[in-house]
């Protein structure tokens, strides 16, 4: 049993590394692609980001029922829907060859598939990896996947720095690379098997969300979901604006975006290693609260980072700050609700992404008024994050 567990952890790790390589390219550049190739303005970026997040909510709402009804085939669901996620994200960079509005369809299908695949993955991986070793395993795998992301961005940057490559050709190369690695990642994923058998549960929509209501009657779970949902709302007020602001206000380009993401990802990898070791020995709640204090300052620091070097430094700070939060909330998501984890992950996916989509659209609307209103969205985001710091200190429980 233990040898089999280690075998499939290695397969999952390899798939995750290739997945990170592919989706880092696709997700990092899709807004810049929309602005520079498809000609989208800030309002259109708000729409596409709203759709991006809304598709995840729909996928989580429907996906929970699908995973429960086909729980004995959860690995197959993981394979099918994650493959769709990988392929359609990579295809977004070819939208201009079909129709500019094809990008909306591709992103919707990618995120819808990713949400269902993510639920099946979460349920499977929770049984594959015991909670007792979860922090050490996830921090190690996160370090590997973040390193793969850095490699993909380093390769992308070499192409973006070549003056002989036109803008259309640049995105063809980048998204061609994402598509090739997506195929490899999906191929490895199809080697996975389930070592813990779960029975199907043919529950109705009403029964499932009745269970969700009962789950929310548990104060620690209710407080955690409230915290995560509201924090996500405040974080996403300027969600559609970061790359737009870099390109239109600071005068940046794809090289800025690549180096920013490399800086953030490297710092995130370092933070995962540091906080992974630290969180194993101390209060996980305290680590989350500490990370929120750091994260709260990111939008303010961003507004003063008007050169490429300042942007790189700001993104290093941001990546390090987010590393602990992402690592620890990932553990809370998988293990806080015990056997009701699908209910909880589905609910988190629905609420956080609906609120993120609404926040993004509100932020984009306010930002479209003038530059000052755009800057105020970043300030509002920082204030909201700080408010949730105090909520977390008071209401989160130790896991």
CB atoms within 10 A of CB 267: 21
Is the Cβ–Cβ distance between 348 and 225 less than 8 Å? yes
What whole-number distance in Å separates Cα of residue 225 and Cα of residue 80?
28
Q: What's the pLDDT at 181?
A: 96
Mark 175-207 as b/e (b = at least 16 C-beta within 10 Å).
bebbbebbebbbebbeebebeeeeeeeeeeeee
What pLDDT score was predicted for residue 367?
87
- Our measurement of the distance from residue 85's CA atom to the centroid of its chain's CA atoms, rounded to an integer in Å, reads 13
Question: Measured between alpha carbons, how far is 285 from 140 in angstroms, rounded to an integer?
Answer: 20
The answer as to whether 207 is a domain residue is: no
In this predicted structure, what is the pLDDT of residue 280?
65
Quote the pLDDT of residue 85.
96
253 in any annotated domain: yes
Give the per-residue pLDDT at 273: 79
Measured CA to CA, the distance from residue 295 to residue 311 in angstroms comes to 15
Cα angle: 320, vertex 325, 330; to 5 degrees: 130
Residue-number span of the structural domain to which 245 is assigned: 2-200+212-395
Contact predicate 276/327, CB 8 Å? yes
pTM (2 d.p.): 0.78
pLDDT at position 279: 65
173 CB-contact burial (10 Å; exposed 0-12 / middle 13-18 / buried 19+): middle
CA dihedral sign, ordered 167, 173, 174, 176: positive
Q: Is 60:350 a contact under the CB 8 Å cutoff?
A: yes
Buried b (16+ CB within 10 A) or exposed e, 350-389: bbbbbbbbbbbbbbbebbeeeeeebbbbbebbbebbeebb
pLDDT tens for the chain, residues 1 to 399: 677 888 888 999 999 999 999 999 998 888 888 888 888 887 787 788 788 888 888 888 888 888 888 888 999 999 999 999 999 999 999 998 888 889 999 999 999 999 999 989 988 888 888 877 777 788 788 889 888 988 998 888 888 888 788 888 999 999 999 999 999 999 999 999 888 888 777 666 777 777 778 888 888 889 999 999 999 999 999 987 888 888 889 988 878 888 888 898 889 888 877 877 776 677 788 888 999 999 999 999 999 999 999 999 999 999 999 988 988 888 888 788 777 777 788 888 888 888 988 898 899 889 888 889 899 999 999 999 999 999 999 988 887
**Domain annotation covers residue 206:** no
In-domain check, residue 40: yes
Name residues whose C-beta falls within 8 Å of residue 132's C-beta, 6 or more positions apart in sequence.
none
Helix (H, G, I), strand (E, B) or coil at 130: coil
- Nearest Cα to 27, choosing from 170, 152, 168? 152
CA separation for the pair 264, 279 (Å, rounded) = 21
CB burial readout 76-99, b (16+ within 10 A) else e: ebbbbbbbbbbbbbbbbbbbbeee
Report the alpha-carbon angle 64-65-66, nearest 5. Answer: 90
Q: Is residue 322 part of a domain?
A: yes
Number of domains into which the chain is organized? 1
Which pLDDT score, from 0 to 100, does residue 282 have? 72
pLDDT of residue 88: 96
CATH number where 13 lies: 1.20.1250.20
pLDDT of residue 1: 62
Residue 20: predicted pLDDT = 94
């Amino acid at each position: 049993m233990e040898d089999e567990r280690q075998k499939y952890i290695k397969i999952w790790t390899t798939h995750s590394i290739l997945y990170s390589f592919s989706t880092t390219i696709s997700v990092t550049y899709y807004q810049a692609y929309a602005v520079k190739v498809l000609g989208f303005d800030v309002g259109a970026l708000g729409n596409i980001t709203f759709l991006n997040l809304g598709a995840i909510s729909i996928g989580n709402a429907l996906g929970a029922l699908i995973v429960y009804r086909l729980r004995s085939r959860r690995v197959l669901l993981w394979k099918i829907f994650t493959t769709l996620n990988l392929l359609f994200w990579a295809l977004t960079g070819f939208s201009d060859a079909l129709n500019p509005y094809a990008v909306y369809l591709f992103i919707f299908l990618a995120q819808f598939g990713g949400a269902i695949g993510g639920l099946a993955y979460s349920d499977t991986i929770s049984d594959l990896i015991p909670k007792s070793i979860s922090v050490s395993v996830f921090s190690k795998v996160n370090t590997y996947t973040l390193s793969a992301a850095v490699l993909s961005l380093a390769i992308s940057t070499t192409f973006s720095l070549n003056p002989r490559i036109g803008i259309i050709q640049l995105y063809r190369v980048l998204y061609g690379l994402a598509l090739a690695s997506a195929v490899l990642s999906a191929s490895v994923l199809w080697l996975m098997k389930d070592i813990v058998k779960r029975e199907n549960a043919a529950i109705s929509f009403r029964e499932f969300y009745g269970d969700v209501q009962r789950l929310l009657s548990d104060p620690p779970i209710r407080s955690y979901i409230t915290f995560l949902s509201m924090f996500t709302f405040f974080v996403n007020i300027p969600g559609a604006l970061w790359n737009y602001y870099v390109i239109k206000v600071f005068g940046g380009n794809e090289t800025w975006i690549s180096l920013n993401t490399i800086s953030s990802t490297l710092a995130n990898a370092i933070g995962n290693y540091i906080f992974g070791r630290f969180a194993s020995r101390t209060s996980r709640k305290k680590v989350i609260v500490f990370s929120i204090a750091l994260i709260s300052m990111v939008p303010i620091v961003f507004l003063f980072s008007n050169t490429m070097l300042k942007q790189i430094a700001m993104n290093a700070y941001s990546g390090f700050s987010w590393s602990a939060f992402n690592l620890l909330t990932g553990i809370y998501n998988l293990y806080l609700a015990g056997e009701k984890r699908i209910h909880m992950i589905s609910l988190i996916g629905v609420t956080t992404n609906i609120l993120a989509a609404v926040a993004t659209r509100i932020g984009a609307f306010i930002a479209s008024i003038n530059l000052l209103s755009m800057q105020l969205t970043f300030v509002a985001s920082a204030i909201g994050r700080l408010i949730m710091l105090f909520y977390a200190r008071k209401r989160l429980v130790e896991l």
